[in-house]
Amino acid sequence: MFWSKAFIPTLKEAPQEAESLSHKLMLRAGLIRMLISGVYIYLPLGLKVLNNVERIIREEMDASGAQELLLPALQPLELWQKTERDSLMGEVMIRFVDRKGRKLCLGPTHEEVITFLAKTHINSYKQLPLVLYQIQTKFRDEIRPRFGLVRSCEFIMKDAYSFDKDEKGLDKNYQKMYNAYKRIFKRCGLNFYVVSADPGVMGGDVSHEFMVPAESGEDKVLYCKNCKYVEAFRQESIQLSCPKCAHNLDKINTLEVGHIFKLRTKYSLSLGAQFLDKDGIQKPLIMGCYGIGVSRIIPAIIEQNHDAEGIIWPKEISPYKVIIIPLNIYERKVMEIAKYIYESLINLGIEVILDDRDEQAGVKFKDADLIGIYLKVVIGKEFLSKGNLELSLRKDKKIIKVKKEAILNRIKKLLYE
Amino acid sequence: MFWSKAFIPTLKEAPQEAESLSHKLMLRAGLIRMLISGVYIYLPLGLKVLNNVERIIREEMDASGAQELLLPALQPLELWQKTERDSLMGEVMIRFVDRKGRKLCLGPTHEEVITFLAKTHINSYKQLPLVLYQIQTKFRDEIRPRFGLVRSCEFIMKDAYSFDKDEKGLDKNYQKMYNAYKRIFKRCGLNFYVVSADPGVMGGDVSHEFMVPAESGEDKVLYCKNCKYVEAFRQESIQLSCPKCAHNLDKINTLEVGHIFKLRTKYSLSLGAQFLDKDGIQKPLIMGCYGIGVSRIIPAIIEQNHDAEGIIWPKEISPYKVIIIPLNIYERKVMEIAKYIYESLINLGIEVILDDRDEQAGVKFKDADLIGIYLKVVIGKEFLSKGNLELSLRKDKKIIKVKKEAILNRIKKLLYE
């Protein structure tokens, strides 16, 4: 992509609506725009970041044996009445009656629909275990949307559902998902805590939350620096020393990015999803569910990866891996080498943006730092005088001087090593 | 994927709800399931097909210089009031009031939202031309949903929008999209007609529809076998001989899969989206919009690519490119070669499914034909006696006997030539 043709509307100042650091940076870097409070447009750069997050999730879910499908946003309210969650969800669930008089809702989650599907198609223990997942848009009538993509009315979730014939199978799938989640958040460049949690409206008895330390996070965890013990902070948490080593506990603001649940038979019983076991006996399916706040991961990454100049994308998340900045676009030799590197990287399958705008060096450097591209190649004065190109990683900004002949190998090494 | 682990619930008989050929085959092949009338679940195989259609669309849109973004489904009704389309859309647009009293709708299309974005970020002729597109879920309160994905309440569209400084620019972008559409539908394996059409509620004056001949299609075109003249059938079409050569015209049932419009200034004027031209004069943006019914392309492909046994996927659309069928899964040598081919294809990046189910040959062949995988490799009796593997394309079923050593090259040739 040539920057002069790209739709990347960066801003010098964040709009007033922005409250948190990540929200400000997402607006300034041209990742998102607000349509109305709680409802956002993903601009091209933001969509690339979202796609990178989704790719990591898909790779790890597929590797764990889960199969992707796609469930509809429109759901019949009747299913929610059967599980008694219609009233539990309260006003946060968007409902309406269609022209034919059908009572519908926009799914804030999909336990009911997936259990309906399982009831139709899982009949025998031979079809188990089965894990299905989707990456899909969810809706909530959020009374107080905040922090951009952190708490919004329309957002993207990954939700997975496991079906097993017994508790042992559920334990195994739960552990598989737990491990997949750790790999996903690590690849996203996140530090995180895992804490036991209250299953809440999901039901079931065991659940774990994946919490990312972030200044604007509204959930809190208690953490022991001494022995690494961690637990969710609750109103009842009056005892504030570590139960393991009696050291002081730190209260840390965090963002919830994942939550996994052992649902057991809550949904299969209320919706009648049964299977025949080895002995020919009808039993309810044993279920688990596993959620990731896909769009919320983006602000979580930014909260943990930024400096005063802007975003510092982790390698796998960076919307372009390389940015090429020719300082004098009117110098033929400068643009020749810029385009040579650009085309070579495209041929190698490496996403690259060439800043061909007629702008001052300062503007180009500021924008590159703001949008946080992983690796920068500058073609400046030293190229004409000494043949040197300047490579630097966004995260440390140390400049590596490289000759033209060595540039591609050096870039490959920095991206793949 | 091993079929024994895959969630591919094929059916011997189509459920009663299915009316058209493509709808029946989509249900029988385990591509989709109905949740409620007009609302469908994409099962894993159906999602793979959808992803392949989307990939083709993205490649051709990107190649034409368009940039992808993602707009929200939730929209403020206020924008629709400004363009006077609120009343025009009638009851087909889903509306509701949220907890804060905001009047919202679920976008059946996005001209208003994209013009709002353009108004915010396009200020100068220097930023033009610009083409933005998205692939996104749309909603319609459809009074009479029919034929599965053909006319449903929740569906996936590709919508693109062009912004230009003058008519000449619009003509150029319109032609680019026209050409991209022809490439997209061709790669999807579709025969289609392009006809001038009535812009309807979109506004503007020039528009073209891309129509796929299909038995269950509800739109009709008039076609001249003699000189290839084609036009949309309208109630007024009483003169039924070709205006070019006077030959008889055939009335053909078709499905609309794409529609492109020269909107000109309809939206930019009513929403105040202006830019400064070269002479410093404020002018309204000149717009075009370009839609593809992404989910509808799937039944359109099936209507044109099937036989009595099932679906015949075109190469680029096939959810797996290759299906490997070992007839005797208890014969060690048979499973060894099956797994060798399976792993080799995965290493080559070729999507493959191995039918390792303990089923009769007849069941396996029937399922493979039903789900329509492009290329079949059978490991039968002749493998043990003579070392022959049997390759065949779904479209012609001619059996090619190949030795083990030659199998991978032969598959690559059939897939890539």
Please tell me the distance from the alpha carbon of residue A17 to that of residue A26, in angstroms, as a whole number.
12
Which residue on chain A is closest to B2 by alpha carbon?
A65
The residue type found at A153 is: C
Average pLDDT of span A121-143: 96
Measured in angstroms, the CA of A10 and the nearest CA of chain B are apart by 10
A160: β partners: A133, A290
Sequence-ordered strand ranges (E) for B46-167: 67-68, 74-76, 94-97, 103-106, 130-139, 154-164
Which has more pLDDT, A112 or B417?
Answer: A112
Interface touch B41/A91, C-beta < 8 Å: no
Chain A nearest-CA residue for B49: A69
Reply yes or no on whether the pLDDT at B238 is more than 90. no
CA-CA distances (angstroms) from residue B150 to A8, B251, B299? 36, 20, 7
pLDDT value at B239 more than 80: no
Alpha carbon distance B352, B412 (integer Å): 13
Segment 71-100 of chain B within 8 Å of chain A by CB: 71-76, 91, 94-96, 98-100
Q: Where is the domain boundary, B255, B282, B307? A: B307
Out of A41, A50, A96, whose CB is closest to B96? Answer: A96
Q: Name every residue whose Cβ is closer than 8 Å to that of residue B119 and which is 6 or more positions away in sequence.
A: B268, B271, B272, B273, B274
Q: pLDDT tier at B135 (50, 70, 90 boundaries)?
A: very high
Closest CA to A299 of A316, A286, A317: A317
ipTM: 0.96
Chain B residues touching A47 at Cβ < 8 A: 68-70
DSSP-based three-state secondary structure for B410: helix
B8 belongs to a structural domain: no
Q: How far apart are CA A41 and CA A36, in angstroms?
A: 10
Strand order in the sheet with A94-97: A74-76, A103-106, A94-97
B80 vs B105: CA distance, rounded Å: 9
The span from the CA of B45 to the CA of B309, in Å, is 18
User: What residue ranges in A110-151 does DSSP mark as E strands?
Assistant: 130-139
CA distances from A226 to A183, A240, A243, A246, A367 (A): 25, 14, 12, 9, 41
Residue B353 covered by a domain? yes
**Is the pLDDT score of B237 beyond 70?**
no
Per the structure, the complete domain to which residue B347 belongs is given by 322-416
Confidence of residue B206 (pLDDT cuts 50, 70, 90): confident
Which of B3, B39, B130, B353 is the best mutation test for A, with the most CBs of A within 10 A?
Answer: B39
Look at residue B378 and tell me whether its pLDDT is greater than 70: yes
Q: What residue ranges in A99-202 does DSSP mark as E strands?
A: 103-106, 130-139, 154-164, 193-196
Cβ neighbour number for residue B320 with a 10 Å cutoff:
23
In a domain, B1, yes or no: no
Of the residues A11, A51, A58, A99, the best mutation for testing chain B's interface (the one with the most B CB atoms within 10 Å of its CB) is: A99
Mutate to test the interface with A, among B41, B159, B295 (most CBs of A within 10 A): B41
Question: What average pLDDT is seen over chain A?
Answer: 95
Burial of A330 (0-12, 13-18, 19+ CB in 10 A): exposed
Say if CB B177 and CB B239 are below 8 A apart: no
pLDDT digits (tens, 9 = 90+) for A183-242: 999 999 999 999 988 777 777 778 999 999 998 888 999 999 999 999 998 877 667 989
CB-CB contact of A157 with A61 (8 Å): no
> Looking at the structure, do residues B156 and B303 belong to the same domain, yes or no?
yes
Answer yes or no: do B300 and B330 share one domain: no
Same domain membership, residue B328 and residue B189: no
Q: What's chain B's average pLDDT?
A: 95
Q: What is the CATH number of the domain that holds A174?
A: 3.30.930.10
Whether A314 maps to a domain, the answer reads: no
* Contact status of B132 with chain A (Cβ, < 8 Å): yes
Cβ atoms of A135 and A160 closer than 8 Å = no
- Answer yes or no: do A15 and A71 share one domain: yes
pLDDT digits (tens, 9 = 90+) for B268-318: 999 999 999 999 999 999 999 999 999 999 999 999 999 999 999 999 999
List CB contacts of B118: < 8 A, sequence separation 6 or more: B130, B161, B163, B268, B273, B285
> Which residue in A412, A103, A36 sits closest to B103, CA to CA?
A36
A 10 A CB-CB count for A191 gives 13
A76:B36 CB<8 A: yes
Domain boundary (A307, A336, A369) is at A307
Q: Within this chain, do residues B92 and B67 fall inside the same structural domain, yes or no?
A: yes
Q: Which residues of A touch B33 (CB under 8 A)?
A: 117, 120-121
Q: Is residue B216 part of a domain?
A: yes
Least confident of A195-209, A372-386, B221-235: A195-209
Q: How far apart (Å, rounded) are the C-alpha atoms in residues B87 and B141? A: 15
Bridge partners of B261? B207, B289
Angular region, B387: left φ>0, alpha ψ -120 to 50, beta rest: left
Q: Clarify whether residues B295 and B330 are in a common domain.
A: no
For the entire predicted model, the pTM comes to 0.97
The answer to whether the beta carbons of residues B25 and B310 sit under 8 Å apart is: yes
Q: Distance from B261 to chain A by nearest Cα, in Å?
A: 22
Whose tokens are 């682990």? That residue is: B5
Alpha carbons B98 and A140: distance in angstroms, whole number: 10
Question: Any chain A CB within 8 A of the CB of B144?
Answer: no
In chain A, which residue's Cα lies nearest the Cα of B94?
Answer: A98
pLDDT tens profile A338-355: 999 999 999 999 999 999
β-pairing verdict for A230-232 and A219-223: antiparallel
User: What CATH number does residue B384 fall under?
Assistant: 3.40.50.800
Cβ neighbours of B94 in A, within 8 Å: 96, 98
Place of tokens 């400096």: A307
What residues of chain A lie within 8 A of the CB of B137, using their CB?
A: 73, 137
Looking at residue B103, its amino acid is K
Q: What is the residue whose two structure tokens read 């200034």?
A: B265
pLDDT digits (tens, 9 = 90+) for B397-410: 899 999 999 999 99
How many domains are contained in chain B?
A: 2
pLDDT single digits (tens) B34-92: 999 999 999 999 999 999 999 999 999 999 999 999 999 999 999 999 999 999 999 99
Q: What is the pLDDT of residue A237?
A: 67
CA proximity to B387, closest of B336, B330, B350, B323 = B336
A336 and A210 assigned to the same domain = no
Q: Which of B33, B43, B141, B131 is nearest to B93 (CA)?
A: B141
* C-alpha span between A90 and A100 (Å, rounded): 24
Residue B147 φ/ψ region, left for φ over 0, alpha for ψ in the -120 to 50 degree band, beta for the rest = left
Token pair of A161 as six digits: 């559902």
Q: How far apart are CA B12 and CA A83, in angstroms?
A: 32
Say whether both A249 and A381 belong to one domain: no
pLDDT of residue B86: 95
A121 and chain B in contact, CB less than 8 A: yes
Q: Which residue has the tokens 């008039």?
A: B222
**Of A61, A114, A117, A63, nearest in space to A263 by CA:** A114
In a domain, A132, yes or no: yes
Q: Are A139 and B68 within 8 A, CB to CB?
A: no
One domain for residues A263 and A396: no
Percent of chain B with pLDDT over 90: 90
Residue B348 lies in a domain: yes
Are A378 and A368 in contact, with CB atoms under 8 Å apart?
no
Q: Is pLDDT of A175 > 80?
A: yes
Q: Which of A3, A4, A7 has the most B C-beta neighbours within 10 Å, making it the best mutation to test the interface with B?
A: A7
List the 34-73 stretch of B: residues with Cβ below 8 A of A.
35-36, 39-44, 46-47, 50, 65, 67-73
The closest CB to that of A130, out of B7, B141, B153, belongs to: B7
Is the pLDDT higher at B301 or at B235? B301
Same-domain status, B107 and B254: yes
pLDDT at A19: 85
| Shared domain check, A9 and A125 | yes
pLDDT at position A198: 76
Confidence of residue B205 (pLDDT cuts 50, 70, 90): confident
Percent of chain A with pLDDT over 90: 90
Does A281 share its domain with A326? no
Q: Could you tell me if A390 and A364 are in contact, meaning their C-beta atoms sit under 8 angstroms apart?
A: no
Q: Which residues on chain A are in Cβ contact (under 8 Å) with B96?
A: 94-96
- pLDDT score of B200 more than 90: no
Residue among A1, A32, A39, A126 with most chain B CBs within 10 A, to mutate: A39
Q: Do B141 and A5 touch (CB under 8 A)?
A: no
Which of B284, B307, B330 is the endpoint of a domain?
B307
State the Cα–Cα distance between residues A257 and A294, nearest whole angstrom.
8
How many residues are present in chain B? 417
Answer yes or no: is A312 within a domain. Answer: no
* Cβ neighbours of A333 (radius 10 Å): 12
Residue with token string 């059916």: B11
Query: What average pLDDT does range B92-116 have in this prediction?
Result: 96
Q: What is the 3-state secondary structure (H, E, C) of B145-161?
A: CECCCCECCEEEEEEEE
Q: If you measure CA to CA, which chain B residue comes closest to A128?
A: B5
Identify the pLDDT of residue A301. 98
Q: Is B236 exposed, middle or buried (0-12, 13-18, 19+ CB in 10 A)?
A: exposed
Q: Which of B138, B71, B74, B136 lies closest to B104 in space, CA to CA?
A: B74
Residue A394 to residue B337: CA distance in whole angstroms? 49
Contact A36 B102 (CB under 8 A): yes
